[in-house]
Amino acid sequence: MRSMLGKRALSSFVSLFVLIVLVFFLSRLTGDPATLYLPVDASDEMRNNFREIHGLNDPVLTQFGRYLVDLVQLDFGDSLRKARPALEVVLEAFVWTLWLALITMLLVTVAAIVVGSIAAFNVGKPFDRFASVLSLIGASAPDFWIAIVGIVVFSVSFGWLPTSGTGTIWHWVLPISVLFIRPFGLILQIVRGSMITALGAAYVKTARAKGVRNRPIIFVHTLRNAMLPVITVIGDQAAALLNGAVVVETIFGFPGVGKLMIDSILQRDFNVILASIMVTAIAIFIMNILIDIAYALLDPRIRS
Amino acid sequence: MADHLLEVRDLSVRFHTAHGVVNAVNGISWHLDRGETLGILGESGSGKSVSASAIMNLIDTPPGEITSGQILFDGQDLLKATDEERRRLNGKRISMIFQDPLGHLNPVYPVGWQIAETAMAHGVSKTDAYDRALQLMQRVGIPDAKTAMHKYPHQFSGGQRQRLMIAMALVLKPDILIADEPTTALDVTVQAEVLSLLEELQEETGMGLLLITHDLGVVAEACDRAVVMEGGRIVESGTPRDLYHNAQHPYTQKLLAAAPGKGEMRSAENGRQPILEVRGLTKSYGSFDALRGAEFDLHAGETLAVVGESGSGKSTIARLMLRLEAASAGSVTWKGEDILKKSPRDMAKLRRQLQMVFQDPTQSLNPHMSIYDIISEAWVIHPDILPKAKWRARVAELLEQVGLLPEHALRYPHQFSGGQRQRIAIARALALEPELIICDEAVSALDVSIQAQVIALLGELRDRLGIAFIFIAHDLPVVRDFADRVLVMQRGRIVEQGTVRQIFEAPREAYTQRLLAAGLDADPDVQAERRAARQHLTQTTGAPA
């Protein structure tokens, strides 16, 4: 198991490095920072000074080396707009996104497992059909539309919930509800299918022949086996949320990484963009390792 | 009439499927007494497992429906009992073990827990349940049982897994053990060990044993009485000796006639040039040798059988010869040229001369291709064999050659039975006009009567077309009837080779003797001799490997 995790960590590091290289060269492709940062009427001398100060006149490889050294020291420079270290700005926003993602995924996981399992025991019956329709709607509904309709209905018409921002627990309800829908629909389908397969497995027959009661057959024998494919999808969906729920955060004015990234792109705050990319990449990298560990804990065949 | 331990009366079960109603069993009756072993003998689709499923309440309704009958146990009709009452019997009074122990053990829990669970499900305390599990694991011969309790099913061998299933079934000393094809997936030597373990445990506990099998040899070896099933009905019943010597029903007679190992042995003609010479063929995975220094010849038109237990390296030989895997050392000379040194382009040309038929025709035929496409695909790859205009006629001819009809060409694999699918696989191999066909357990998955037909077909093709065969099999009676020469393999080595007569009548190596003694014969008298030979071997050469 340790060697497996080692291998996974190594391959994740390789992809992280590729990402680092890509980010560096792509940001060079967006044009000369001197043109972007300085006013249109800045003189050539000012531009040259700017390049000199920021080391933009050095050979590309030297710049790349410096960029790597800074990265290792977690030094992303200052945010140009907020005049604070970029990393600090990003981490502040990331905490919001992390909470949003964690709470949403927790609710999604519990709800999808419960509804999906019940649907699997009642294949073809009304509950199962209802759950299937529900999941199809959930998996295919566009979140920006639901977010806006949610605001119109619950905030504007009924006035039950705040339209945007943070402050009280009520501010979380709409963003979480909107983010909940799509992964719930998707994971529900996976749980259902996976449970149906596991319930038909030979070891379930053995358990019945042993005289094991229905409840342990479902929750001890079947669920753990059925969870294996589900975990992969949960990881996938959680990664998407960690990436910053760009649309939903923007609509609800939620101060997470997604909104920060959009704002920074509009304001050309490159250091913050870079720091956000790195922070979310590392978070996803850590989460993938957690998924691997969960997998190995659930399935002894992977451990050996 | 409540004298019997278990009695099934006039049981009928049907299943509602997408293709209509299937009557799985029709009014069958049988009984089992304490300390007795009853065999239910039948081929696939005969309904032999259905009554067992009905006893264990394992038939899902729907799609299943029990339309008539009684199952009397302990003065109670199980079919009238509640689910909870029946759950209390399962595992405690009546237990069951299955054919495929790997699939029937839960992959994610330690085996010790799974065995203890049987006891815990019936109210035994956790410590007590684990104690019993440990005792049973020791009793069924799991080495180092204390450590083994914490291991998972995939960490055991096939034979050990079946022993674990037995331990799991017997934790609460049930009155009845139902064993559904308990040894079918096991090697012959392991099969003999598992059957004798069941017999010992039965003597210790006095339980009634219901043995469901397709194998006449298992009936001859282990059963006191047997019922023969065909198409959901019991066609005949009696002691194994009665059934063997005085079979009344044509179906029983057909089964007995199909049982291999009775025909005239072939005598190899010598003096022909070898077409294939294998020298020093070796395959290593790290420090483990799957095959070590294999050396043998094959002559034109000859059938060479490769026998041995699983893991002995039988299939490795075939895979290396066809370069499905790279050999670590050695040479395979086909008509004077080393196959292992050929360029990929030359190898592609050579492949048409060397064809393979696999064990599982369901998996080796593409389900989305019609039979015509499957057979003619060979000519797409090797266009020089046949101009396209003649394909249709040739496919029809090949299908007739393997005993199918020309109009079958338009159908798809799922529309055929297992035996028919294997014929299609053979037709596909023949399409390339090969000089050598390697059959890797090609008849192992088939019912006895179908097996006999496929073997007869292969023999006919051999005689008519002069094709040489390498016949990999674990089933010795089939080998005895079909092969000219035999290689016996053990742990990656060829331990003995000779003509079929030498191997079967005067085996030199102890391993070969053990293999032969472990084989099961349909004749109870032959079986008694083998049993004596087996005991003798165990006494003289120590415990079986």
Q: What is the pLDDT of residues B389-409, one digit of tens each?
A: 889 999 998 998 888 888 888
pLDDT at B229: 93
> A161 with A235, same domain?
yes
pLDDT at B32: 93
Domain boundary among A48, A72, A96: A72
Q: Is the pLDDT of residue B175 over 50?
A: yes
Closest residue in chain B to residue A223, using alpha carbons only? B108
Query: Range with the lowest mean pLDDT among A49-58, B50-59, B213-222, B395-404?
Result: A49-58
Give the pLDDT band of residue B420 (cuts 50, 70, 90). Answer: confident
Instruction: Say whether domain B274-506 belongs to CATH 3.50.50.60.
Output: no
Q: Decide if A61 is inside a domain.
A: yes
Q: Decide if A216 is inside a domain.
A: yes
Q: How many CB pairs under 8 A join A and B?
A: 76
- Between chains, do B121 and A216 touch, taking CB under 8 Å as contact? yes
Contacts of A301 in chain B (CB under 8 A): 107-108, 152, 154
Separation in Å, CA of B18 to nearest CA in chain A:
15
> A156 with A266, same domain?
yes
Residue B465 exposure: Cα atoms within 13 Å on the Cβ side: 21
Closest residue in chain A to residue B169, using alpha carbons only? A210
> A176 with A282, same domain?
yes
- Between chains, do B92 and A203 touch, taking CB under 8 Å as contact? no
Token digits of residue A160: 């039950």
Separation in Å, CA of B208 to nearest CA in chain A:
17
- Between chains, do A211 and B121 touch, taking CB under 8 Å as contact? yes
> A57 with A97, same domain?
no
Q: In a 3-state reduction of DSSP, which class is residue B339?
A: helix
Report whether A273 contacts A265 (CB < 8 A).
Answer: yes
- Between chains, do A201 and B103 touch, taking CB under 8 Å as contact? yes
- Between chains, do A207 and B106 touch, taking CB under 8 Å as contact? yes
The 10s digit of each residue's pLDDT in B120-168 is 999 999 999 999 999 999 988 888 999 999 999 999 888 889 889 999 9
> How are beta strands B485-490 and B493-499 bridged, if at all?
antiparallel
Q: Decide if A58 is inside a domain.
A: yes
pLDDT at A84: 86
Q: Decide if A79 is inside a domain.
A: no
- Between chains, do A205 and B122 touch, taking CB under 8 Å as contact? no
Q: Decide if A24 is inside a domain.
A: yes
Residue B88 sits at the chain A interface (C-beta within 8 Å): yes
Q: Decide if A275 is inside a domain.
A: yes
Residues on A contacting B at a C-beta cutoff of 8 Å: 201-203, 205-213, 216, 221, 224-225, 298-301, 304
- Between chains, do A211 and B103 touch, taking CB under 8 Å as contact? no
> A109 with A255, same domain?
yes
Residue B267 sits at the chain A interface (C-beta within 8 Å): no
The average pLDDT across B57-67 equals 85
Q: Is B469 exposed, middle or buried (0-12, 13-18, 19+ CB in 10 A)?
A: buried
Which of A205, A211, A298 faces B91 most closely, judged by CB atoms? Answer: A211
Residues paired with B209 in a beta bridge? B37, B177
ipTM given for this complex: 0.78
* Cα-based angle B492, B497, B503 (whole degrees, multiple of 5): 120
CATH architecture of the domain with range B34-57+83-258: 3-Layer(aba) Sandwich (3.40)
Q: A88 vs B114, which has greater pLDDT?
A: B114
Give the pLDDT band of residue B447 (cuts 50, 70, 90). Answer: confident
> A8 with A141, same domain?
no
The 10s digit of each residue's pLDDT in B486-536 is 999 998 999 999 999 999 989 999 899 888 888 888 888 888 888 888 888
pLDDT at A244: 62
Q: Is the pLDDT of residue B542 over 70?
A: no
Residue A124 CA to its chain's centroid (Å): 34
Q: In a 3-state reduction of DSSP, which class is residue B289?
A: strand
Q: Is the pLDDT of residue B295 over 90?
A: yes
- Between chains, do B91 and A298 touch, taking CB under 8 Å as contact? no
Residue B173 sits at the chain A interface (C-beta within 8 Å): no
> A105 with A63, same domain?
no
- CATH code where residue A179 lies: 1.10.3720.10
Q: Is the pLDDT of residue B544 over 70?
A: no
Residue B105 sits at the chain A interface (C-beta within 8 Å): yes
Q: Please, which residues have CB within 8 angstroms of residue A255's CB and are 6 or more apart in sequence?
A: A92, A93, A96, A166, A249
- Between chains, do B91 and A202 touch, taking CB under 8 Å as contact? no
> A99 with A54, same domain?
no
Give the pLDDT band of residue B270 (cuts 50, 70, 90). Answer: low
> A160 with A249, same domain?
yes
How high does pLDDT run on average in chain B?
Answer: 88
DSSP label of B273? P
**Tokens 């094809």 -> residue:** B181
- Between chains, do B58 and A221 touch, taking CB under 8 Å as contact? no
Q: Decide if A77 is inside a domain.
A: no
**Tokens 């509950």 -> residue:** A127
Closest residue in chain A to residue B96, using alpha carbons only? A209
pLDDT at B269: 64
Is there a shared CATH topology between the B34-57+83-258 domain and the B274-506 domain?
yes
Q: B271 vs A269, which has greater pLDDT?
A: A269
- Reduce the secondary structure of B200-244 to three states and give it as a string: HHHHHHCCEEEEEECCHHHHHHHCCEEEEEECCEEEEEECHHHHH
Which residues span the domain enclosing A38? 2-72
Contacts of A221 in chain B (CB under 8 A): 106
The 10s digit of each residue's pLDDT in A122-170 is 888 899 999 999 888 888 888 888 888 887 888 778 878 777 777 777 7
- Between chains, do B90 and A224 touch, taking CB under 8 Å as contact? no
Cα(B186)–Cα(B200) distance, integer angstroms: 19
Report whether B156 contacts B73 (CB < 8 A).
Answer: no
Closest residue in chain A to residue B177, using alpha carbons only? A209
Residue B62 sits at the chain A interface (C-beta within 8 Å): no
- Between chains, do A206 and B152 touch, taking CB under 8 Å as contact? no
Which of B90, B108, B152 faces A210 most closely, judged by CB atoms? Answer: B90
Contacts of B58 in chain A (CB under 8 A): 205, 208-209
Domain boundary among A39, A72, A105: A72
What total number of domains does chain A contain?
A: 2
> A121 with A252, same domain?
yes
DSSP label of B125? -
Closest residue in chain A to residue B111, using alpha carbons only? A300
pLDDT at B545: 40
User: Looking at this protein, which amino acid is placed at residue B10?
Assistant: D
Q: Which of A206, A223, A301 is the best residue to mutate to test the B interface, defined by the most B CB atoms within 10 Å of its own CB?
A: A206
Strands (E), B358-412: none
- Between chains, do A210 and B57 touch, taking CB under 8 Å as contact? no
Separation in Å, CA of A223 to nearest CA in chain B:
11
Strands (E), B273-384: 274-285, 288-299, 303-308, 329-334, 337-338, 354-357
Which residues of chain A are modeled with pLDDT < 70? Answer: 1, 30-31, 33, 244, 304
Residues paired with B14 in a beta bridge? B23, B65
Residue B350 sits at the chain A interface (C-beta within 8 Å): no
Q: What is the dihedral of CA B30, B36, B42, B46, to 10 degrees?
A: 30
Report whether B290 contacts B320 (CB < 8 A).
Answer: no
Domain boundary among A72, A100, A118: A72
Q: Decide if A227 is inside a domain.
A: yes
> A90 with A53, same domain?
no
> A242 with A288, same domain?
yes
pLDDT at A278: 84
Q: Where are the domains of chain B?
A: 34-57+83-258, 274-506
DSSP letters, B390-404, are GHHHHHHHHHHHTT-
- Between chains, do B90 and A207 touch, taking CB under 8 Å as contact? no
